[in-house]
Amino acid sequence: MAEAKKDASLNKRRQIDRTGRVMFGWVAGASVLVGFALVIGGFLIQRIIFETKVLTEKTQTMSTLDHNIKTYDGLRDNVRVLNTNSALGSAKINDKEEPLRVILDALPADNNSLALGASIQNLVGRVPGAKLESFQTVTSDEASSNDNSNDSSKSSNKENTTNTSSAQQIAFTMELSASNADTLRDVLRNFEKSIRVIDIDESTIEASGSKITMSVSGHAYYLPSKTIQLNKKGIKP
């Protein structure tokens, strides 16, 4: 009887040990699975966040491209309208030019001193008896040194100056000659009528015999062309 009880006790211990090993195996396996699940879940979460960032940037880029396309279409329509504008058409130098060229001549995209000199020569040449003796552009340092002395004359001409908050100035000096003051006055009137805005800052007149000489300092304007630059943007996961 005692041996039977002893055998039953050993069997119970074996069953308990076997059950403990099985439970340990299940717990260890579950721990491994949970660990894998956490690693995979973290990777998936990072991937989802990264894909969301990429999708957001792509959406913003597509929105910008759509806006630029619409803007381009609007600009193209505006150019078409300007090319049919009767006022611009009447201001053309010759019939072969497009009306839009008038705007480009009025506000060039660079500080081309040769083009400015040619424009001034053309304005002077329209007045019989007037002669352009000399013309030269002035550097920014030289122009700034004359700003203080020209403040009073600039303020008097301010009403006739167009709004050039985004435009740049190109300063110049020139010397004109004629046989009478009326001829020089007609030259200045041509500057006022010029399609390109030319402001006179200061002028002095000297008479020597039958010749009258006028020294003029002034400035014209140009609007630097704008460039479009495409950049690459990297997104880190």
**Domain-by-domain residue ranges, the chain?**
1-83, 98-222
Taking CA atoms, 112 is separated from 59, 175, 200, 219, 224, in Å, by 42, 20, 19, 13, 11
DSSP, collapsed to helix, strand or coil, labels residue 70 as helix
Q: Are 191 and 198 within 8 A, CB to CB?
A: yes
Domain 98-222: give its CATH architecture.
Answer: 2-Layer Sandwich (3.30)
Give the helix ranges, DSSP H, for the chain: 2-83, 86-90, 100-106, 113-125, 140-145, 151-156, 181-193
In 10 A of CB 178, how many CB atoms? Answer: 21
Torsion of CA 48, 54, 57, 60, to 10 degrees: -80
Residues in the chain: 237
Q: Using alpha carbons only, how large is the chain's radius of gyration in Å?
A: 42
Tens of pLDDT, residue by residue, the chain (237 residues): 556 666 666 666 777 777 777 777 777 777 888 888 888 888 888 888 888 888 888 898 889 889 888 888 888 888 888 777 776 666 665 667 677 777 777 788 888 888 888 889 988 999 999 999 999 998 655 555 555 544 444 444 443 344 444 788 999 999 999 999 999 999 999 888 888 888 999 999 999 888 999 999 999 999 887 777 777 777 776
Q: Which two tokens stand for residue 21?
A: 């090993």
Take residue 209 and report the two structure tokens written for it. Answer: 């015999």
Is 0.75 surpassed by the pTM of this model?
no
221 neighbors 167 (Cβ within 8 angstroms): yes
Residue 64 CA to residue 201 CA, distance in Å, equals 44
CA atoms within 13 A of residue 186's CA, in its CB half-sphere? 15
57 contacts 235 by C-beta, under 8 angstroms: yes
**Residue 142 carries which side chain, given as an amino acid letter?**
E
Number of other residues whose CB lies within 10 A of the CB of residue 186: 17
